[in-house]
Structure 1
């Protein structure tokens, strides 16, 4: 006897709710910075589900971590919506720098950093052991470059220089956020202004 449509819909809703709860629990646990939180089995136990539930929803730990990364990417999808438009070049650079400075200290970003710290550093090892997670991280790099290109698309800026900026600025901003978290003696407002000026100058020099 076929399962009634209403029963299937209820089952699907229950499954989606379980999936969402696991993803939210993962972000919350990872955001603590505790290396032991990078355990799909531990997170499953926290919300009262079995490892079989993880496998049913995500396939394996690799699928789970890839889903966690995708989940956080979706939640931050509109983060840079205001970086393009009619603003001058320096203002757009400042928007990116300020948004990253705030965003990299948010729980989602702390969760991602904790997860990445537990993953293999060597790209070949990451591809071999966590192929879905590696693919998700690569897609982030592509999306980030596209975001930066879009931010300056209507200005006379060399796209290759924008690509260079897209490549180094996340690491530079992580450094400033780390200084903030450690209680830096440096003036981080001045540091951000200096970085903004340097990037704007570099992009301006690349203009035709």
Structure 2
């Protein structure tokens, strides 16, 4: 029994060391990628920076694809609660503004810069990404699905057209990256005004559909069939 207890204790220590190594590698990856250096998109280089071998990367993540997928998942977990609980007392205007403002601030954070640098180094063509980096592609695809679900949840009680919510959910990330890029490059445009304009346009588009949805519900129709 004593030998079993000793073995269990040793296994727990080894597991803790393994988890600590894994966490250190993921954090090192975010830091390196956030620098914006295209050369930072190298699992082997990141491993060397924290003093571990390529064999350690393979043991922890399988290969570079598994490593990048884990990095993306790591950043996703850290922002999981950003839009987790929509304020049902907030107006449509307030909810849209909250999403726009949160992304405007968040897209300059280290995690976002790291993601952008990594994505810039990956194949642009989805089929090529699926072929060469299937686990990374699956993680990115799950992000898209999660984002759409988050947006549907954010407006679920306001009776707006779900299809219109899907459309603005597809629009917002690219639009916000454009505004953030303008801010980083330096712009003579009033970007606060641009954000207000984008917010107001989205609100008007969703609000226009709310009346139709309410009328359809009163008439016993399914809004999705309209």
Shorter-chain-normalised TM-score: which range? Answer: over 0.9
Q: Which residue of the other structure, out of 44, 58, 61, is the alignment partner of 2:47?
A: 44
| Distance in structure 2 (CA, Å) of the matches to 1:114 and 1:15 | 27
| Corresponding residue number in structure 2 for 1:190 | 193
Which of 92, 114, 119 is the aligned partner of 1:116?
119
SS of equivalent residue, structure 2 residue 127: helix
Q: Select 2:110's aligned residue among 101, 107, 110.
A: 107
Give 4+ residue runs of structure 1 displaced > 3 Å after superposition.
Answer: 81-84
Deviation at 1:84, TM superposition (A): 3.4
* Secondary structure in 2 matching 1:112: helix
Residue aligned with 1:4, SS:
helix
- What 5-or-longer segments of structure 2 have no aligned partner? 213-226
Q: Which residue of 2 aligns with 1:90?
A: 93
CA contact (8 A) 1:69 1:136 kept: yes
- TM-superposed CA distance for 1:128, in Å, is 0.2
Separation in structure 2 between the aligned mates of residue 173 and residue 72 of structure 1, nearest angstrom = 19
Q: Is the Cα–Cα contact under 8 Å of residues 27 and 107 in structure 1 kept in the other structure?
A: yes
CA deviations 1:39-96 (Å, max 9, x no partner) are 0000000000000000000000000000000000000111123543210101000000
Q: 2:85 and 2:148 mapped to 1: Cα distance?
A: 16
CA contact (8 A) 1:83 1:95 kept: no
The corresponding residue for 2:83 is: 80
After the TM superposition, which of the residue ranges 74-83 and 100-109 deviates more from structure 2?
74-83
SS class of match (1:190): helix
Distance 1:168 1:80 in 2: 17
| Aligned with 2:134 (options 109, 131, 135) | 131
TM-score between the two structures when normalised by the length of structure 1: 0.98
Match of 2:153 in 1: 150
The equivalent residue for 1:205 is: 208
Q: Which has the higher helix share?
A: 2
SS of 1:140's partner is helix
Residues 84 and 152 of structure 1 are in contact (CA less than 8 Å); yes or no, is this contact kept in structure 2? no
Q: How many residues align?
A: 208
Provide the secondary structure at the position in 1 that maps to 2:83. coil
**2:35 is the counterpart of 1:29:** no
TM-score by length of structure 2 reads 0.90
Give the CA RMSD over aligned residues. 1.1
**What is the CA–CA distance in structure 1 between the aligned matches of 2:59 and 2:167, rounded to whole Å?**
41
Identify if the C-alpha distance between structure 1 residues 26 and 36 changes in structure 2 by more than 3 Å, giving closer, same or farther: same
Q: Which runs of 5+ in 1 are unaligned?
A: none
Which protein shows a greater Rg? Answer: 2
